[in-house]
Amino acid sequence: MSEAALVMRGRADAIAALRSHWPEYLVEAWGLGLFMLSAAVFTTLFEYPGSPVHRAVADDTVRRVLIGAAMGLTAVGIIYSPWGRRSGAHLNPAVTLTFWRLGKVAGWDALFYGTAQCLGGLAGVLFALALLGPAFAMPPVTFVTTTPGAPGTGVAFLAEFAISALLMSVVLAVSNSATSMRWTGVAAGTLVALFIAIEAPLSGMSMNPARTLASAVPAQRFDAFWVYCIAPPLGMLAAAELRRFVGAGVHCAKLDHDPGVRCIHCGHEPAADEVRR
């Protein structure tokens, strides 16, 4: 096939994907945007010095645990929401890339998912700025940016790699077990809460290039930005390769595979009496 024919075919495939799967792309944008808005609200509530909640909860570890719990619940809510069940609630280019590597997400879907996640996350941060004003933009909240902690960039990289690998390992294990698959969202949300409470002082706890980008752009703060672009995908891909090495299968790219909702990844179409589109 000639180069021109390949270009034309690629363009046609991209248009077809947009026409057919645009609702899933919008859901991914909505999901990360909502997650970033939640992160902005709860971080400002607990960390802005002028907040009465900040003054009431003096211990920074306790505040971090409470923020983690709020964000874990936010993640669970998005995953199990009707819209989250529609797209699979990746909310993270590293997650989408990993499922693409596993052959569970088509190439154009992966590209449009990643683009939607980045744009949605940025929209969520900008909306939070309009809602919360200087309290959100000023230190120590600073647009909820993720930057290396006191131990330095190297430790932040290793920490991001480790938590990303652990998250994907758990997601793959739980979502592909018939007895536990319905708990995948709970497992993922629990890990998000634990990582914020425990790991955040090392790297800011991102695991998500789009999440870091969404905060970095309005803050104009790109401290060790490469860490958050490279370590999470590498960690999640490592988890996927380990699963492939041991010969464990992967059913689908969705975190919650509701039989009543169509799936653009595995081709599932619900029966007429099950449809929840």
Which CATH number do you get for residue 197? 1.20.1080.10
Whether residue 188 lies inside any domain: the answer is: yes
What local confidence, expressed as pLDDT, does residue 23 receive? Answer: 96
What local confidence, expressed as pLDDT, does residue 84 receive? Answer: 96
Percent of the chain with pLDDT over 70: 95
Whether residue 271 lies inside any domain: the answer is: no
What local confidence, expressed as pLDDT, does residue 273 receive? Answer: 46
**CB within 8 A of 201, min separation 6: which ones?**
64, 149, 150
pLDDT tens digits, one per residue of 62-72? 999 999 999 99
What local confidence, expressed as pLDDT, does residue 4 receive? Answer: 67
**Token pair 């709020």 is at which residue?**
70
Reported pTM? 0.94
What local confidence, expressed as pLDDT, does residue 248 receive? Answer: 84
Average pLDDT, the chain: 94
Whether residue 11 lies inside any domain: the answer is: no
What local confidence, expressed as pLDDT, does residue 249 receive? Answer: 86
Whether residue 77 lies inside any domain: the answer is: yes
Whether residue 9 lies inside any domain: the answer is: no
Q: Which domain holds residue 184?
A: 23-245
**pLDDT winner (highest mean) among 2-6, 36-40, 258-262, 273-277:** 36-40
Number of domains in the chain: 1
Would residue 51 be called left, alpha or beta, if left means φ above 0 and alpha means ψ between -120 and 50 degrees? Answer: beta
Whether residue 257 lies inside any domain: the answer is: no
Would residue 25 be called left, alpha or beta, if left means φ above 0 and alpha means ψ between -120 and 50 degrees? Answer: alpha
With residues binned 3-state (H G I as helix, E B as strand, rest as coil), the percentages for the chain, rounded to 5, are 70, 0, 30
For range 19-32, the mean pLDDT: 96
Whether residue 2 lies inside any domain: the answer is: no
Whether residue 68 lies inside any domain: the answer is: yes
